[in-house]
Amino acid sequence: LRQYLAKSLPDYMIPASFVELEKLPLTPNGKVDKKALPEPSGRMQTGAEYVAPTNPTEEMLVRVWQEVLGIEQVGIHDNFFRLGGDSIKAIQIASRLNQHNCKFKIQDLFQHPTVSELASYVQSADLSVEQGIIEGEVMLAPIQKWAFQLSTNIYHWNMGLMLYRPEGWEVKALEQAFGKIVEHHDALRMVYSTDGGTVVQRNRGMEGELLAIEVFDLTGEADVRERILLEANRLHRKMNLRQGPLVQLGVFQTLEGDHLLIAIHHLVVDAISLRILMEDFTTAYQQALEHKEIVLPPKTDSFRTWSRKLHEYANSDKLLQEIPYWKEIEETPIPALPKDKEGPDTCFIKDSEMVVTTLNEEETNLLLTDVHQAYQTEINDLLLTSLALTVREWTQAEKIAVTLEGHGREEIIEGVDITRTVGWFTAMYPVIFNLKTNDLSQAIQVIKENLRLIPNRGIGHSILKHLTTEENKKSVTFGLTPEITFNYLGQVDSYSMNSMPVGEAVSPETKLWQKLDVNGAVTGEGILVISFRYNAYVYRRETIESLVKRYKHYLREIISHCRRQESTVLQVINRT
């Protein structure tokens, strides 16, 4: 069937799996009832014959992979990346393994991406991590220093989720669950002050107001959506950096069930932190409903420990060895992006606009799985190849500079485990792609190689820039600010999908310092969403719409190209 379809359909339109039905389920209107269609069963095809686990370690790894990747059956020879794995999923797997008192290095998973290979690298976890309440001053991490230096509206800069429960939320259980979460995850109790112009971050104990919960009865409200938006915006503006709390909850009770807004200041959480918090909230809320003691998985090292270790690492020989690499990047001349009209190079979010495109579920599944065999890639490699080709076509320039955002939880400090630590760990760093051709094969390999050459996935750049002493970094100017940023957030769990607005998590007065801000994520429905936010002072909408259209075109071409490869390409790139 697959071969037959290939005669008339492009590769990205051929299903990854097939389900045989006696007849299609129909709606009363005679259309296909998509919700009634069964999910594909069986195991995902990765090209490897299924082999069951042969020992307890393999059994544990298989079970955790199946949970995190959402796959019914994983064999010990299945490739992690062909199953849809990425660096964020790798951290989630390490976090789950930690709950079994086991650990491995993320680097080991990337170098040995099958259960059979990885099993020999699994070790017993260190159980000596402090499990008590963390209090006292906490050094600022590089991303936090950057945020305070941005001179923007940092008081209104949050991350938010809206959760829906048809049977309603029990407020007392919410208070108990989040009370335990704020006690367990120390970073949620941070407060900030200034001392002689220097920002001081302090971890409070359990004193004072640690979270705020407001309940809104909207059962008689005429326009529920508008009221939720109004109140959500107000809750986002309530964050108090000096006194706390930095966690605001809003329960919106409606005739169709309850919506729960969870708003947390960005200074103390990132995307991976939200995943950790939602795992713990699911556990804690259920335990509270059942009137049980709330017990959460053991803590990993605190954000305070991580930040202190980063400040020590900032002047280490290990980090200073990266200076020649970053010096070359910083000193590479990059042509400015073309502009449609004259205007300020920076603007506020309220002065920006956004264009969004998507891949359908089938295309997204291919991008997450099948396509990576050809060049041993990760999804970021291909998303960035598409971006580089798009920008090259637009600017006619071979050198393209992009600021990348990574999760920042790299294993650079021996003996420190932050796989289940809540905080803001994001790393931002510049990368330069030197793309001399439109040939897809060459482009994929160039982008992949450029990314692999970055030391420690770029975390060193922000440490050098914000933490290293001036004496130790005097040879580097750190003046390069690419006009494009890119961030792939990974596969977003279904809990984040809600029909009600989460509100303005970030102030409209926040500065947008880049001309193009490109973000990607895979929704809970399995659809890749790519957004291009742009400075509307200098670009017309039709220009960005054209760029987005070309981006999607290149992404589809890359999917088709990779699927046509009959064997893995391991070609050495000619850099001349």
Cα 515 to Cα 241: distance, rounded to the nearest angstrom: 29
Give 302: exposed, middle or buried? Use CB within 10 Å, 0-12, 13-18, 19+.
buried
pLDDT value, residue 517: 97
**Burial class, 357, CB count within 10 angstroms (exposed 0-12 / middle 13-18 / buried 19+):** middle
Contact 98, 420 (CB under 8 A): yes
Dist. CA 574–CA 576, nearest whole Å: 6
pLDDT, tens digit, 9 for 90 and up, residues 362-385: 999 999 988 998 898 999 999 999
How many Å apart are CA 555 and CA 190, to the nearest integer?
A: 42
Domains, the chain, ordered by start: 56-124 (1.10.1200.10), 136-297 (3.30.559.10), 304-493+509-564 (3.30.559.30)
pLDDT of residue 40: 54
Task: List pLDDT tens digits, range 136-169.
Answer: 999 999 999 999 998 678 999 999 999 999 999 9
Question: For the chain, what percent of residues have pLDDT higher than 70?
Answer: 90
Strands (E), 145-291: 158-165, 190-195, 198-203, 212-217, 247-254, 257-265
Higher confidence at residue 48 or residue 553?
A: 553
CB 97 within 8 A of CB 103: yes
> With pLDDT > 90 as the criterion, what percentage of the chain qualifies?
66
pLDDT at 572: 46
The whole-number pLDDT of residue 153 equals 85
For residue 5, name the pLDDT band (cuts at 50, 70, 90). low
Q: What is the CA radius of gyration of the chain?
A: 24
CA dist., res. 403 & res. 131, Å (int): 36
Helices (H) and strands (E) in the chain, counts: 17, 17
Can you give 113-176 as a three-state secondary structure string? CCHHHHHHHCEECCCCCCCCCCCEEECCCHHHHHHHHCCCCCCCEEEEEEEEECCCCCHHHHHH
CA distance 131 to 152: 35
Give residue 56's pLDDT. Answer: 87
Helix boundaries (H) for 7-82: 56-69
- Residue 414 has what DSSP assignment? T
Name which of 13-27, 217-231, 242-256, 475-489 the model is least confident about. Answer: 13-27
Give residue 399's pLDDT band: very low, low, confident or very high (50, 70, 90): very high
Kindly report whether the peptide bond that precedes residue 245 is cis, defined as omega within 30 degrees of 0: yes
Q: How far apart are CA 184 and CA 134, in angstroms?
A: 9
Count other C-beta atoms under 10 Å from residue 458's C-beta. Answer: 22
Model confidence pLDDT, tens digit, residues 42-90: 444 555 678 888 898 889 899 998 988 888 889 988 888 888 888 788 8
In the block, which residue shows the tokens 């001399």?
436
Dihedral sign computed on CA atoms, order 534, 535, 536, 541: negative
Angle separating helix axes 379-395 and 440-453, nearest 10 degrees: 110
Q: What pLDDT does residue 11 have?
A: 43
Across the chain, mean pLDDT equals 89
Q: How far is CA 451 from CA 237, 271, 382, 402, 445, in A?
A: 38, 22, 11, 12, 10
pLDDT reported for residue 98: 79
Task: Compute the distance between CA of residue 315 and CA of residue 367 in angstroms, rounded to an integer.
Answer: 40
* Cα separation, 249 vs 210, whole angstroms: 11
CB 236 within 8 A of CB 248: yes
pTM to 2 decimal places: 0.83
Whether the CA torsion 499, 504, 506, 512 is positive or negative: it is: positive
Distance, CA of 350 to CA of 236 (rounded, Å): 16
Least confident of 11-15, 244-248, 394-398, 399-403: 11-15
For the cut 50, the answer to whether the pLDDT of residue 544 exceeds it is yes
